[in-house]
Chain A
Amino acid sequence: MSTYVLSDSWTMTRRELAHWARQPVQVVVGLVFPVMMLLMFGYLIGGGREVKGEYVDFLVPGMLALTMAFGLEGTMTAVTQDLNKGVVDRFRSMPMANSAVLVGRSVADMLQSALGLAVVIAVGYAIGWRAHGGLGAALGAVGLLLLLRFAMLWIGIFLGMVAGRPEMVQAVQILVWPVGFLSNAFASPESMPEWLGTVVEWNPMSATATAVRDLFGNPGGEPGHMAAAIIWPVALVAVFFPLAVRKFQALSR
């Protein structure tokens, strides 16, 4: 039956794509949100930051990392909604590959995030951000960002199943903000009080942002963060992927 994993996963992915087609406004809002944040920080709040070089060059990679981190909310919301509507019960009562439910979710969310990256990069370019590290390095940076998103995906799937209810999702949605902002996305840790700077440097998102800045040749990038930017997300996946799968199987308990 495992021969059906691919075709079933594709069917489940198509389901998500059909949702997009049904609700284009929601998709556009999702894509515009990080752009709004980018413009807000770039023009309203930014400028005065003590960061070497142009703030926009510092900000765009941080915004890209933040966009990936915030993807967690979307994944979690979608998982909770599915579970609450009973449609997952039907999937589970059918002779399909059960893993396809989670794989379909993953593929669709990764596609959406890739699109989100493209939009932020395009708008960043329009407001003066430039990558100086060459094409290979830029692709590497995109790879690191998607790796971070992949980690957030499995955290989101797990938390979505644990939360179970839309009210719980809201609580997590609020908590995502401080976690997202306690990073070097908008400001360099050197400009912060020491304890805060330490917290920020340990944030997995900061590792990705620093490595991505380095690969783009942007200010705030330091060589040597590549390992952390890979190890953090991989470690998170290693923890949350099995947890999520177990939780999914435990639905029958």
Chain B
Amino acid sequence: MTDAIVVEGARKRYGEKRALDGLDLRVAQGTVHGVLGPNGAGKTTTVRMLATLLRADEGKIEVAGHDVRTRAREVRRRVGLLGQHAAVDEELGGRQNLEMFGRLYHLGAKRAGARADELLERFGLADTGRKPVKQYSGGMRRRLDLAASLITEPAVLFLDEPTTGLDPRGRAEVWASVRSLVGGGTTVLLTTQYLEEADQLADRISVVDRGRVIAEGTADGLKSQVGGDRIDVVVRHAEQLRRAAALLPGETAVDEDRRLVSAPVTDRMAALAGAVRALEDAGIEAEDIALRRPTLDEVFLTLTGGRETAEVTA
């Protein structure tokens, strides 16, 4: 399989700050690749470089077989970009936007119009009429933005934090749209702060921190590195916390303030049933028991060996 995206040793400095510090990335054609990391890790810088909006100081960057620096126009014909801020004209309507972008992709007036109608239909925006985009909901705006990125059916699509700032419904809408693209052969690079999102959408994930990739693998692979899912137990009486921790399997983490003990699990259901039974037998009253995915904080703590990650917002 050929690689649709190749990044080798990309560096970018802004004064003293190193936005990218030797980032490497390979994305196989037709796959969805997640780039996971906290704010300021270099995710957006990476996407902007791949989309020819920003130049790297050093390093090789190829997208769809073309160098982004020397053959930017070839790259631009083959990529779509969904940035963090809706990159559409807010004063105009949805159809006006898509038709304008179609013309700028040189489809010609007639095809640009037809393509606009097609995409509006596909993304459930056909009934928006002349309503200006600034009156759209967050989810609708993102869908229009996504539609605009797909006008030429790009070989490679960049999604920079596509659901940040959306409510759960908007997020679900965007996820559904992204899923519908996969399988059409499009290569998707997706950045996110949410492990769950990368988990839901991506075949492989690169975890970035301070401008470089610190781990790479499938969602399952990464999670097993981090210890997979966890079970959280909140006890009613603080003095029973230590005893509860002793009952749970594996290496537990105790949070005295929240009366919470957390333990890694492998078999979710068995672990849940086991914990309920063990606590009951020991006469420990639980206020809450829940299974959950590791948070990005935990992924980071594990991958960086417990280095301070106060800036992480998982």
- Chain A residues at the B interface, C-beta cutoff of 8 Å: 1, 4, 7-8, 11, 14-15, 18-19, 22-23, 85-87, 89-96, 100, 251-253
CA gap between A133 and B84 in the complex, in Å: 57
Let me know if A86 and B87 touch, CB within 8 A: yes
With A8-B104, A86-B83, A93-B81 known to touch, is A23 a contact of B53 (CB < 8 Å)?
no
Let me know if B76 and A95 touch, CB within 8 A: yes
Let me know if B87 and A15 touch, CB within 8 A: no
Closest approach, in angstroms, between the C-beta of B87 and any C-beta of chain A?
4
Among residues of A, the one whose C-beta sits closest to the C-beta of B102 is A11
- Restricting to B147-190, which residues have a CB under 8 Å from any CB of A? 148
Let me know if A93 and B79 touch, CB within 8 A: yes
Which of B88-96, B191-199, B234-242, B249-257 lies on the face that meets chain A?
B88-96
CA gap between A248 and B310 in the complex, in Å: 36
- Restricting to B59-98, which residues have a CB under 8 Å from any CB of A? 73, 76-77, 79, 81, 83-92, 96
User: Is B223 part of the binding interface, using a Cβ–Cβ cutoff of 8 Å?
Assistant: no
Among residues of B, the one whose C-beta sits closest to the C-beta of A82 is B89
Closest approach, in angstroms, between the C-beta of A224 and any C-beta of chain B?
46
With A23-B91, A252-B54, A253-B54 known to touch, is A86 a contact of B85 (CB < 8 Å)?
yes
User: Is B279 part of the binding interface, using a Cβ–Cβ cutoff of 8 Å?
Assistant: no
Let me know if A86 and B76 touch, CB within 8 A: no
Let me know if A89 and B73 touch, CB within 8 A: no
Render B98-138 as a binary contact track against A, CB cut-off 8 A, 1 for contact: 00110111100000000000000000000000001000000
- Interface of chain B: mostly helix, strand, loop or mixed: loop
Let me know if B53 and A252 touch, CB within 8 A: yes
User: Is B52 part of the binding interface, using a Cβ–Cβ cutoff of 8 Å?
Assistant: yes
User: Is B51 part of the binding interface, using a Cβ–Cβ cutoff of 8 Å?
Assistant: yes
Partner of B96, one of A18, A251, A252: A18
A-B contact pairs, 20 of them (CB 8 A): A11-B103, A14-B100, A15-B89, A15-B100, A18-B92, A19-B92, A22-B91, A86-B85, A86-B86, A86-B87, A87-B89, A87-B90, A90-B101, A91-B104, A93-B52, A93-B53, A93-B81, A94-B104, A95-B105, A96-B106
Contacts of B84 in A (CB 8 A): 86
Let me know if A85 and B85 touch, CB within 8 A: yes
Closest approach, in angstroms, between the C-beta of B158 and any C-beta of chain A?
9
> Other than the known A87-B90, A93-B79, A96-B105, what 20 A-B pairs have Cβ atoms closer than 8 Å?
A11-B104, A15-B89, A18-B92, A18-B96, A19-B92, A22-B91, A22-B132, A85-B85, A85-B90, A86-B87, A89-B85, A89-B87, A90-B83, A90-B148, A93-B51, A93-B53, A93-B76, A94-B105, A95-B73, A252-B53
CA gap between A1 and B51 in the complex, in Å: 19
User: Is B268 part of the binding interface, using a Cβ–Cβ cutoff of 8 Å?
Assistant: no
CA gap between A14 and B101 in the complex, in Å: 12
Among residues of B, the one whose C-beta sits closest to the C-beta of A11 is B103
Let me know if A95 and B96 touch, CB within 8 A: no
CA gap between A15 and B97 in the complex, in Å: 9
Closest approach, in angstroms, between the C-beta of B15 and any C-beta of chain A?
12
CA gap between A100 and B90 in the complex, in Å: 19
Contacts of A14 in B (CB 8 A): 100
Among residues of A, the one whose C-beta sits closest to the C-beta of B90 is A85
Partner of A87, one of B77, B79, B88: B88
Closest approach, in angstroms, between the C-beta of B72 and any C-beta of chain A?
9
Closest approach, in angstroms, between the C-beta of A240 and any C-beta of chain B?
24
CA gap between A4 and B76 in the complex, in Å: 15
Let me know if B106 and A4 touch, CB within 8 A: yes
Let me know if B53 and A89 touch, CB within 8 A: yes
CA gap between A100 and B276 in the complex, in Å: 66
Let me know if A90 and B81 touch, CB within 8 A: yes
Closest approach, in angstroms, between the C-beta of B220 and any C-beta of chain A?
33
Closest approach, in angstroms, between the C-beta of A73 and any C-beta of chain B?
18
User: Is B293 part of the binding interface, using a Cβ–Cβ cutoff of 8 Å?
Assistant: no
**Which 8 A-B residue pairings sit nearest by Cβ, starting from the closest?**
A86-B85, A90-B87, A95-B76, A86-B87, A96-B104, A95-B77, A11-B103, A93-B81
Closest approach, in angstroms, between the C-beta of B185 and any C-beta of chain A?
20
CA gap between A14 and B104 in the complex, in Å: 12
User: Is B259 part of the binding interface, using a Cβ–Cβ cutoff of 8 Å?
Assistant: no
Closest approach, in angstroms, between the C-beta of B104 and any C-beta of chain A?
4
CA gap between A15 and B133 in the complex, in Å: 14
Render B279-307 as a binary contact track against A, CB cut-off 8 A, 1 for contact: 00000000000000000000000000000
CA gap between A252 and B72 in the complex, in Å: 12
CA gap between A96 and B105 in the complex, in Å: 6
- Restricting to B24-60, which residues have a CB under 8 Å from any CB of A? 51-55
Contacts of A90 in B (CB 8 A): 81, 83, 87-88, 101, 148
